[in-house]
Amino acid sequence: PEKVKEKVIEFDFKEYLRSKAMAVNEALDRAVPLRYPERIHEAMRYSLLAGGKRVRPVLCISACELVGGTEEVAMPTACAMEMIHTMSLIHDDLPCMDNDDFRRGKPTNHKVFGEGTAILAGDALLSFAFEHIAVSTSKSVGTDRILRVVSELGRTIGSQGLVGGQVADITSEGDASVDLDTLEWIHIHKTAVLLECSVMCGAIISGASDNEIERIQRYARSVGLLFQVVDDILDVTKSSKELGKTAGKDLISDKATYPKLMGLEKAKQFASDLLIRAKEDLSCFDPMKAAPLLGLADYIAFRQN
Ligand code: GRG
């Protein structure tokens, strides 16, 4: 065990993330080439290749590799997760939603291409994500696994997932009676479900057993929620720094956040508990093989953006 421990510590997570993110970027670039009609493909590529941490596709690949699969087997599913994430950001930024001018350090899609094209670019990415999994997954993968991944993804996106979370968020805006349960429901559906789906689908596509899937699902749930709690904390701490005050923007805005509802210290404690829980959920796996997913949990917990 001493030797194993040593090796886990030796695992270079930064290098792992860099090389996986680069492989994802190359695969996305190949998946959505610039072709006729150029305008829509330009808009799709603009947001898809605009940077981003690539957390979802890397989670997908790492889960696949944890249970014996390869990067190649997971890649179309991993790219699909990033396509869905990107389309949700394009639509979230629209004037009829959050009305944001900048995303990933660049002008938002509708600012560059206009609202009509931005909506269509999101729609095209949404539909292509499914096509890409169905058409580009290695022929060695059974259709039963592909079908399961596609249905997981559909459930994750629809009215019981991302769309449901977004609607609940819009509806609750400015509502002072939003409690922790509602906040958690919104976060789980807007953010955690796609992170969870990315991990789960990586495991499913590699042919994981039901027992492995159950373990991985628990990890995925903790990590999904952790991501959002940390996002809320960063919103407060970043804007406090910007304002030079102790209370950041989200402590004084209408938006319900974890720090606002439970206090900053308790929100930090909650994040720390979720990180421990996520790691415990992987304790049944070989620590060497689980190192990337353990590293991703730390990365999500300690990230600065
Ligand atoms: C899915 C059909 C469909 C419609 C979209 C707009 C919408 C419905 C949902 C909103 C989803 C949303 C914007 C959730 C917030 C997710 C979030 C925490 C984004 C930030 O993710 P990071 O930090 O960003 O991974 P990068 O840029 O690094 O990828």
The residue whose CB lies within 8 Å of the most ligand 1 atoms, and thus the one to mutate among 190, 195, 304, is: 190
Residue closest by Cα to atom 27 of ligand 1: 52
The contacts of residue 232 (CB under 8 Å, 6+ apart) are 250, 257, 258, 259, 260, 267
For ligand 1, the distance from its centroid to the CA atom of residue 85, given in whole angstroms, is: 5
For ligand 1, the distance from its centroid to the CA atom of residue 8, given in whole angstroms, is: 32
The pair of three-digit structure tokens given for residue 263, joined into one six-digit string: 């206090």
In this structure, are residues 156 and 60 in contact, taking their beta carbons and an 8 Å threshold?
no
Spatial distance between the Cα atoms of 71 and 247, rounded to a whole number of angstroms: 43
The contacts of residue 136 (CB under 8 Å, 6+ apart) are 31, 76
Quote the pLDDT of residue 305.
83
User: What's the helix, strand, coil split of the chain in %, to 5?
Assistant: 75, 0, 25
**ipTM for the complex shown:** 0.98
State percent of the chain over pLDDT 70.
91
> Using one digit for the tens of pLDDT, what is the confidence trace for 246-274?
444 444 456 678 898 889 999 999 999 99
> Using one digit for the tens of pLDDT, what is the confidence trace for 66-104?
999 999 999 999 999 999 999 999 999 999 999 999 999
For residue 231 and ligand 1, the question of a CB distance below 6 A is answered with yes
Reported CATH class of domain 2-302:
mainly alpha
Domain ranges of the chain: 2-302
CA 40 to chain centre: 24
Residue closest by Cα to atom 24 of ligand 1: 52
> Using one digit for the tens of pLDDT, what is the confidence trace for 189-220?
999 999 999 999 999 999 999 999 999 999 99
Spatial distance between the Cα atoms of 174 and 141, rounded to a whole number of angstroms: 47
For ligand 1, the distance from its centroid to the CA atom of residue 1, given in whole angstroms, is: 40
DSSP state of 288: H
For residue 195 and ligand 1, the question of a CB distance below 6 A is answered with no
The residue whose CB lies within 8 Å of the most ligand 1 atoms, and thus the one to mutate among 89, 172, 235, is: 89
